[in-house]
Amino acid sequence: MPGKPSKHLETFPNPRPGRDYEVSFEIPEFTCLCPRTGQPDFATLRIRYIPGRLCVELKSLKLYVWSFRDEGHFHEEVTNRILDDLVNLLDPKELTVVGDFNVRGGIHTIVTASHPRRD
């Protein structure tokens, strides 16, 4: 039986904290609802980050992404919310979330939200 959607994200310690490296995820089945019409919006999420002390655990990320399925969100808001949640959880050196939303009404929307590198 699959798990249930959850907003609870989990972490594990960065296995190489002395080295900067990039972690990338592509999530091609992101779904939320249009807040105006209630129709589903489909997107590919791309998450890229350079870890600080922590990394995000993948099963919790999957359940977190699933939790948006029945919620109404504008593309801009949901992309920035995911960025904020991951930055607050991980305190990464750098993190970018790209929401590449399928065409709706003849418009293809791509939203890119970034957390800059801190030195």
Measure the CA–CA gap between 86 and 52, rounded to whole angstroms. 12
Q: Strand, helix or coil at 66?
A: helix
Phi, psi angle pair for 45, to nearest 5°: -95, 140
Measure the CA–CA gap between 97 and 76, rounded to whole angstroms. 11
Q: Which of 20, 32, 41, 55 is catalytic?
A: 41
Given a contact cutoff of 8 angstroms between Cβ atoms, the answer to whether 81 and 9 are in contact is no
Q: Which of 20, 32, 34, 91 is catalytic?
A: 34
Active site residue 41: yes
Given a contact cutoff of 8 angstroms between Cβ atoms, the answer to whether 115 and 92 are in contact is yes
Active site residue 34: yes
Cα 96–Cα 29–Cα 117 angle in degrees, nearest 5: 5
- Annotated catalytic residues are 34, 41
